[in-house]
Structure 1
Amino acid sequence: MSKKVAVILSGCGVYDGSEIHESSAVLVHLSRAGVQYEVFAPNKEQMHVVDHVKGQPTEEKRNVLTESARIARGKITDLACLKVDSYDALIIPGGFGVAKNLSTWAVEGKDCSVDKAIEETIKAFHAKKKPIGLCCISPVLAAKLIPGCEVTVGCDTESEKWPHAGTAGTIKELGCKHINKEVNEVHVDAKNKLVTTCAFMSNSPLHEIFDGVGEMVTALLGLL
C-alpha cells in the first residue's frame, strides 16, 4: 500500500498565507515519490489580507480554506475533518500564513498561541510517532508545541543571505535546539521524528529552495 501524507496549508501567498512555491514543491516531490497526499486547511478567516504588489494590508476579508484551495486546485478538506490514523505523516509548508493564521507568531513571537486545530493535529501526529515535515517558518510550530525539540530555520547569524536569522534565537528562547543548515540541507530530529529545512528563510535561488524541500520530503519518507 502507498503511504499517505497530510499537507496543511495556511492560505495562498507568502505575505498572508502559504508560500506558493514551497507548497507546490512539497506536492511535486510527494507525487514524484509515488506518495498519496491530501491537502487540508483550517476553515477560518485570515488574520488579514496583504496586497502582494504593495506589500501592504488591505481591508479585504478572506478565508484560509478558500484561499488554500487555489493551491490545491480545489481538492482540499477542512482541517476539522483530518483523522490522524488515516495518514502516515504530516507536512506544513511555510509562508507568513503559518505565523498569522496557524498561530500568532507574527505578532507575539515565542509568546504566541497556536490555532487549536493545528495544535491538536501536530500533537496527535507526534504522540503516534508519525513523522512531521516543516519548512521555512513552520518549524516554530514544533518549537512552541514540542518541548526540547531540534529544528532548523537556516542560520542563526543575520546576513544578506539570512535576513530572518533572528527566528533561530527565538526558537532557542523556547528551550529548543536550533541547528544551522544550508538551504539544500535538512535537520532530522530522530527522537521526535521532525524533519525541517529553511526554504525561503534563506535568500537563495528558487531551484535551490525547491531542491531543499525535496530533501525534506525524502528524509520524511525515510522515517516511515
Structure 2
Amino acid sequence: MRTELTEKQRQILDFIVERVSEQGLPPTLREIAEKFGLQSVRSVQTHLDALAKKGFIRRLAGKSRGIELVRERVRRPGIPIVGHISAGRPIPAIEDIQGTLDLDVLFGKDERPFALRVQGDSMIEAGIFAGDFVIVQPRQTAEPGDIVVALKDDEATVKYFAFVDGSPMLVPANSQYAPVPLGEGQIVGKVVGVLRQVKRNIREIQRFLNQ
C-alpha cells in the first residue's frame, strides 16, 4: 500500500495535528473545508479517507470531530539532548548527544497525553503563562495539590485542585483570582508538564543591564 502523502493531504494532516495540539480537539469537516478553500465537505471526506487508508488517522463515525490521530504515524523525530547548560555560573560548553527528548517517553505514551494552549493569567505563580502549552494526562480524579484541567459550565480551565472545608475546589495561582467550587464540574486531566516558546525580549535585557 502506498503511504506517501500528496501536498494537500500533508497540509490537512498538519492542520489536524496543530488543532489537536493547541485546542485538544480536531477540527470539524467544515473548518477543514474553510481553511483550505475546498468547495464542499465531500472533498474533505475524500482527503480524510485517503489519510485513514494510509494509516495516519482513524475516522470515528457519527461525530462532527470524528478524527483520531494515529500517534505512531504522525510522531515527529525527538529533539536531540546535547548536554547541560547552567543558568547561573558558566560551565564549559559540552556537545555530547545523550539521547533524544521524546514527549511520549517523557510524559507517558500509554496515558495518551494531550496538549492545551493556556489563555489568561490565573496560574502565573505556578509558572504557567498565557501562550504556554500544558501537557495533560487524562484523569477523572485528582489529589490535593495537583494542577488539573477541569470542565465547568462547558468551559475548560486549568487550576490547582484542593479541598476547602471538605468541598472540592479549583484554586488559581494568582492572588487576583478567587477559588471556585468544582461543583457539578468534572476533572478531565492532570497537568504533568509545561512547554513554552522563548521569544526575544530586548526590554528585559535592558532592565538587567541597567540594574
With structure 1 as the length reference, what TM-score do the two structures score? 0.23
Which one scores higher on RCO, CA 8 angstroms, separation ≥ 6?
1
The structure carrying a bigger helix percent of its residues is 1
The structure carrying a bigger strand percent of its residues is 2
